[in-house]
Chain A
Amino acid sequence: MAHILREKGFDARVIRGGLNAWKKAGLPLEDIPADDMVKLPTFARR
């Protein structure tokens, strides 16, 4: 995706090591807001 964005003129960079490296560095995280969650079907009894 970064490559596609760069081709379209954006100055896109990739965070080395991704979320895992960010966590290891002790940098701040947040819970994903409920509205952003993708709701997949489930067989769990409600």
Chain B
Amino acid sequence: MGNWAETLARHGAGLLFALCLVEALGLPVPAAVALLTAGALVALGKLALLNALLAGIAAFLLGDVVYFFLGRSTGWWLLGILCRVSTNPDSCILTSAEAFYRRGRAVLLFAKFVPGLNTMAPPLAGSMRMPFVQFLLLDLAGIILYVGVYIGVGFAFRDLLATLLDTMGRAGNVIESILFLAFLAWVSYRLWLTWKDRVYRAVPRVDSADVDGPVFDVRSHGYYDADSQRIQGSQRLEPNSLPDAIATLPEAEKIYLYCT
């Protein structure tokens, strides 16, 4: 049934646990494929159902609890980090929080099925001060549903999955070439971004001690936590309202911007 399935069968629940944990921590690992394969292995008697279920559930729960407490202890900082990949971090934080609140706590029941939301939901729940026991129960229910569905589908469609994995095994070289090309494309994209953004390096930078004019705070998440501080006398310059704010900025003197 392919090298991948043989590897999973050999290492069993330990490998399944590791893959699910890594995905729960936000890294791009195909845990869903691992769960599908685990389901097929259960059907073939090569993996115990209880071990597969417990490995998947424990791994996702551990990762989610870590992110929940990181969200709770760092306020909106962690969400700010996760939102950096967004084109508009400010809007990302606000819309994520509002969407999560509007749809209610039940989002946790299906969050695992939605790429992106699966990583964002636990720290959001922590940042939004959801009671831990409530988070734990809803998240656990969502995880059981997710792990159960994928293992169940793998179990039911084991023959189809075996064919797919065999095909993938035979097409190993082609897949490796595609992955290598994708990696090259990603590196090229990053280099192009660096080249495109070179103009931003031309902005003069000054040390804190040399500031001698009005200061503006352009942080994306500094205004969400109750105990936040800013440079004395500075004013917020919210990136999304820059076109309106420009009319109020002094044109005749130096202005200083800062972020985190």
Contacts and interface: CB of A to CB of B under 8 A. Distances in A.
Interface residues of A, number: 37
Interface in B215-236: 215, 217-219, 222-224, 226-233, 236
A29 B231 contact: yes
Contacts of B224: 37-38, 40
B129 A14 contact: no
B229 A32 contact: yes
B209 A25 contact: yes
Contact of A43 (B128, B208, B229): B128
Contact of A40 (B128, B205, B217): B128
Give the size range of B's interface with the partner: 35 or more
B226 A43 contact: no
A37 B88 CA distance: 19
Contacts of B228: 31-32, 37
B257 interface: yes
A34 to B, nearest CB: 9
B42 to A, nearest CB: 37
B131 A6 contact: no
A40 B221 CA distance: 11
Contact of B208 (A8, A22, A31, A45): A22
Interface of B: 76, 93-94, 97-98, 100-101, 105, 125, 127-131, 134, 199-200, 202-209, 211, 215, 217-219, 222-224, 226-233, 236-237, 239, 242, 246, 249, 251, 253-260
Interface of A: 1-6, 8-22, 25, 27-32, 36-38, 40-45
15 contacts: A4-B242, A5-B249, A12-B257, A13-B204, A13-B254, A15-B257, A22-B208, A22-B231, A28-B231, A30-B229, A31-B227, A31-B229, A36-B223, A36-B236, A37-B228
